[in-house]
Structure 1
Amino acid sequence: MLTTAPLKIVAVSAGLSSPSSTRLLADRLAEATRERLAADQDRTVEVRVVELRDLAVSIANHLVTGFPPADLRDAIDAVTGADGVIAVSPVFTASYSGLFKSFFDLIDNTALTGKPVLIAATGGTPRHSLVLEHAMRPLFAYLRAVVLPTAVYAASEDWGAPGDEYAEGLPSRIRRAGGELASALTGHTRSGASREATLDDGEDGLVPFEQQLAGLRVGP
């Protein structure tokens, strides 16, 4: 009987307190993805949560020395080896946290190529929700990840709120985002081997700019 390997999801939480709303949001997004995969695809899922709070000293040491301690190396390998990533940061000074940025600065800018990433953030007020679009989405686009359409922001007032006629409640947004990640994992994610083959073909098959310009030239 053919067995299918479990899908690996890694949730990166940059919350600083324990417990934290950032970790809670990461857990709920992972569970929503797991439930959708179990219901629609009958797929088993392995979920690992990387708490950046526990790696803060190792991250700082790596930035200074250039050598990752064992715990940080393990976390980086988990993220780059996952089938899908959930990335959640609290909002500080209208952007993601410095700890969150420092961790992803340590990941090679091709290591997430083609990997589906669900982005999310937490904050005290809804006014900071645009951090998902002006900060987090460009960060993962630079890392060549496939950033899912639905990003989830949870303000303090969203926890336990049912939503209204103009906006969905937080549980609904979590379910929709989890469904998108589940669909990406089963229908649109390439294996690591196929990603490497594409890269070997020359920068993801992109046509050099000079060649594109040559194609626009009008003959005599």
Structure 2
Amino acid sequence: MSRRIAVVSAGLSDPSSTRMLADKLVQAVFEALDDRGVEREARVFELRDVAHDITNNLMTGFAPKALAEMNDYVAKADALIAVTPIFSTSYSGLFKSWIDVLDRDAIEGTPVLLGATAGTARHSLAIDYAMRPLFTYLHAEPISTGVFAASSDWGAEADSVAPLQKRIDRAAGELADRLSGSSAAQKTDPFAPEAYLAGGSSFEDLLTKLPSRG
């Protein structure tokens, strides 16, 4: 079964570093899924292409065709990659406006890879204090690693301590694990009662084997 990935970029310029990051993320996820033998497909949506539609939806309560088709793809996707520029320490107004017109249960249970861009690394925590709570509120399931890219992460002056591609590959691997069914969340908890039973001993049996305190 092919896994469907929706990619949403909230970049405003053309080209934009936000779209560049989105493209790198989906490419890395594709490569990670290929390594796991999982078929995949994706569509990339630029919010600036439907900015007027989003405004109209906010004012009228009805989504124009292009926006409705985009939101339908997102709702039916197996995973979402969401990337936004950071303005004034948080996600962009366009990005939030899109979230506001998205059906409340559209991405419930959907694994989400979060990405963000900004001119300076001072905004690197925005993924965790702004984006992650937003998607958690929508009952989506953001993966552990978010990817932030500052201007210094691109080109010859890229940070040699934690290079952007390394962070991208780590996040892509986590999302691919979720989509391939091999995530850590699905592994057996060694402290769960069923883990003891699988080993042939009941929880009560294990208690009787504990050394006594004399």
- TM-score category, normalised to shorter length: 0.7 to 0.9
Contact 2:152 2:159 in 1 (8 A): no
Mapped partners of 2:167, 2:122: distance in 1: 17
Structure 1 unaligned residues grouped into runs of 5+: 190-220
1:6: how far off? 1.4
User: What is the DSSP-based 3-state SS (H/G/I as helix, E as strand, rest coil) of the residue aligned with 2:159?
Assistant: coil
Please give the alpha-carbon distance, in whole angstroms, between the structure 2 residues aligned to 1:64 and 1:33. Answer: 36
Which structure 2 segments of 5+ residues have no match? 184-214
Equivalent residue, structure 2, for 1:31: 27
Q: Which amino acid aligns with 2:71?
A: I
1:139-165 residue CA offsets vs partner (Å, 9 max, x unmatched)? 00000011100000000000134533x
| Aligned residues of 1:109 and 1:142 also touching (Cα < 8 A) | no
Distance 1:80 1:22, change over 3 A: same
Equivalent residue of 1:71, what SS?
Answer: helix
Name the residue aligned to 1:141.
136
CA distance in 2 between counterparts of 1:110 and 1:68 reads 16
Letter in 1 for 2:104: N
What's the TM-score, normalizing by structure 1?
0.80
Q: Using structure 2 for the length normalisation, give the TM-score.
A: 0.82
Equivalent residue number for residue 176 of structure 2? 182
Taking only aligned residues, the RMSD between alpha carbons, in angstroms, comes to 1.3
Shift of 1:172: 0.2
> Superposition pairs for residues 38-77 of structure 1, below 5 Å?
38-40=34-36, 42-77=37-72
How far apart are the structure 2 equivalents of 1:19 and 1:32?
20
- Aligned identity (percent) is 52
Q: Please point out which of 12, 15, 22 is paired with 1:16.
A: 12
Distance in 1 of aligned mates of 2:18 and 2:126: 14
- 1:205 match: none
1:170 aligns with 2:164: yes
**Per the alignment, in what secondary structure is the counterpart of residue 12 of structure 1?**
strand
What's the offset of the Cα at 1:81? 0.7
Q: Structure 1 77/188 Cα, relative in aligned 2: closer, same or farther at 3 Å? A: farther
Name the residue aligned to 2:112: 117
